Amino acid sequence: MRRSRSSYFDAERPRVEVIPMIDIMMFLLVFFVVISLRMIAGTGVPMELPSAASTTQLVSATITVGVTKQGDAIIDGQTVDLAGLKAKLLALKAERAVDVVLSATRT
């Protein structure tokens, strides 16, 4: 069967081979990971870090203090004045360590 003259000059649709491109990208990824791990290990300075002989568990309390636009403090949904806030924080501090989180309105 003969091809017609017009089909001889028609360009075939180009094919993009993806598999070799994926192989090259994986090779480059592994290459750069291995090189970067060696570079990180080479920059370290040998040290003798201190260690503890015994440990103790610190018990801490987290309290959230809200501040309104008017300057009022809110703890556990109740509005307290500054003297009450100070007394509450000092009472918690006497029992254990206290982590205070402040939250306020935008303006």
What span, in angstroms and rounded, lies between the C-alpha atoms of 68 and 60? 26
> How far, CA to CA in Å, does 25 sit from each of 30, 34, 63?
9, 14, 51
Helix (H, G, I), strand (E, B) or coil at 21: helix
Task: Name the β-bridge partners of 65.
Answer: 75, 102
State the DSSP code for 12.
P
Q: Please identify which residue in the block is written with the tokens 């060696």.
A: 38
Q: Convert the pLDDT of each residue in 56-93 to its tens digit.
A: 877 777 888 888 888 888 888 888 888 888 888 888 88
Split at pLDDT 50, 70, 90, the class of 4 is low
Q: Convert the pLDDT of each residue in 28-55 to its tens digit.
A: 999 999 888 877 655 566 777 788 888 8
Residue 1 has pLDDT above 70, yes or no: no
Residue 96 has pLDDT above 70, yes or no: yes
Instruction: For 17, list phi and psi in degrees, rounded to 5.
Output: -85, 115
Split at pLDDT 50, 70, 90, the class of 22 is very high
